[in-house]
Amino acid sequence: MWDPSTPYARNAAAWRNTVESTSRRQLEALSSLQTTIRKSTDLRKRSLPSAILAHLDARSRSSTPAWLPQTYFREMMNLEGAFKTLGKFSTNLDISIKLPESAEWRTAKTAWDRLSRQHQPVDQAAASPTDIQLAIDLAPEEEMRIFLALLWISAARKGDVANLSPSDVQFDAATGRITLFIQQGKGTYARKSKYRIPTHAPLIWRPMIADFLSSRSAEKRLFSRHLASQRDALDALRRANAHMTCRAVRRGAIQTMAKAGASEEAVMKITGHKSRDTYHRYLNWDRDNELPHRQAQEAAMALTVALEQGL
C-alpha cells in the first residue's frame, strides 16, 4: 500500500476519483487488512472474501462496544470500494477486484444490509442548541470549537466543513453574516457542483470565529486534515451528550431551523436536499409533524365512537 508520508505513486487524478476523506478511509482499511493477513497463517490460506470477513469479525469483537450492524455493513462497503479501485492504493499493482463476484461476499453483504436496516433507530438522534453550546464550552482546542460552530450554523456534513480553506469563508463580524464556499466533500458530489451556504453566527460566537479566521488566513487549510476522517469531532460532541453523532448535528440544525418557522425552500437551499421526502426524514416528519398526527388521531376516534355506540 502507498505510504501517505511519501509522494503519491500514481497520477494525482487517480487519488481524487472520490472525496479525499473516502480515499483515506479506504487506504486505512486496506492497510489494516494487510497487517491482519500478514500476521495470520490461517487467513493467508483463505479466499480473499473469507479473509476480509474474518478480519471484520475480529475488529467488531475487539471494539468496545462491539459494532452495530450498521457499522459492520459500512465497513464492508468501504472495503468493497477500496478493492474496486485497488490500483490507486497499490504501489506495484494496477488492478481492480470486484468482491461482489464472490457468492460468499454477496450473501454476507445481503445479510448485513438487512440487519443494518432492522437495527436503524426509529427516531434518529438530533443535536439541540444546548448540546452544541455545551460541546463548544467543553472543547479544549480552539480549532474544535470553531469546527463545531461552523458545523452547526451551516447544517453541513462533517467532510464538507473539514475541507474548507480560509478563503472559502467570508465573515462579517459586525452583522454575523457568514458565507461558506464548499469545494470538497460529499455535498459537492450530491449537488454535482461546488456551492455556497449563506448563514449567520450568533453574537457570542463572533469574536472566537473572527480570531480563528484571522489566525488561519495564511494557511492552505482552515482545519487540520484529520478532522474529516478521525473521531475527534465525535469525541468532542459526546463530552456534551453521550448519544450524539456528527450526523445528529446536521439533523438537529435542520430541525431547529424548521421549528423556528423557516420555509422548506429556504432550509433546503442551505442543506442541498433535492427531495422533500429526504428532507422530511431529517425532520422526523412522520413523528413530529402535528397535522398528520392530529388527522390520524381524529380518524382513529371513529373506531372509539363506533365501539361506544355498539355497546
Q: Which domains does the chain have, with CATH numbers?
A: 12-118 (no CATH), 129-287 (1.10.443.10)
At residue 195, φ and ψ (nearest 5 deg) are -155, 165
Mean pLDDT along residues 89-110: 95
Nine-digit cell at 277?
Answer: 421526502
Phi-psi region of 248 (alpha: psi -120 to 50; beta: other; left: phi over 0): alpha
User: In this predicted structure, what is the pLDDT of residue 22?
Assistant: 85
**DSSP structure class, residue 158:** H
**Closest residue by Cα to residue 80 from 18, 36, 38:** 18
User: In this predicted structure, what is the pLDDT of residue 44?
Assistant: 95
Do residues 198 and 204 lie in contact, with contact meaning Cβ atoms separated by under 8 Å?
no
Higher-pLDDT residue of 311, 182: 182
pLDDT tier, 123 (very low <50, low <70, confident <90, very high otherwise): low
**CB-count exposure of residue 240 (10 Å: 0-12, 13-18, 19+):** buried
User: In this predicted structure, what is the pLDDT of residue 122?
Assistant: 56
Higher-pLDDT residue of 211, 194: 211
User: In this predicted structure, what is the pLDDT of residue 169?
Assistant: 93
Do residues 180 and 147 lie in contact, with contact meaning Cβ atoms separated by under 8 Å?
no
What Rg, from alpha-carbon coordinates, does the chain have? 23
Range name among 40-44, 159-163, 169-173 with the lowest pLDDT average: 159-163
**pLDDT at residue 307 is higher than 80:** no
**How far is Cα 85 from Cα 88, in angstroms, rounded to an integer?**
6
**How far is Cα 213 from Cα 147, in angstroms, rounded to an integer?**
11
Q: What b/e string do you get for 248-271 counting C-beta neighbours within 10 Å, with b at 16 or more?
A: bbbbbbbbbbbeeeeeeeebbebb
**Closest residue by Cα to residue 208 from 139, 292, 259, 269:** 139
**How far is Cα 255 from Cα 245, in angstroms, rounded to an integer?**
15
Q: What percent of the chain has pLDDT over 90?
A: 51
E strands of the chain, at which residues?
169-171, 177-182, 195-200
Higher-pLDDT residue of 247, 137: 137
User: In this predicted structure, what is the pLDDT of residue 189?
Assistant: 64
**pLDDT at residue 115 is higher than 80:** yes
**pLDDT at residue 289 is higher than 60:** no
pLDDT tier, 208 (very low <50, low <70, confident <90, very high otherwise): very high
Higher-pLDDT residue of 238, 302: 238
Higher-pLDDT residue of 280, 50: 50
**What is the Cα 162 distance to its own chain's centre?**
11
User: In this predicted structure, what is the pLDDT of residue 274?
Assistant: 79
**pLDDT at residue 286 is higher than 70:** no
**pLDDT at residue 292 is higher than 80:** no
User: In this predicted structure, what is the pLDDT of residue 182?
Assistant: 84
**How far is Cα 88 from Cα 11, in angstroms, rounded to an integer?**
9
pLDDT tier, 297 (very low <50, low <70, confident <90, very high otherwise): low
**DSSP structure class, residue 102:** S
pLDDT tier, 272 (very low <50, low <70, confident <90, very high otherwise): confident
**pLDDT at residue 311 is higher than 70:** no
User: In this predicted structure, what is the pLDDT of residue 190?
Assistant: 65
**Mean pLDDT of all residues in the chain?**
87
Nine-digit cell at 56?
Answer: 471484520
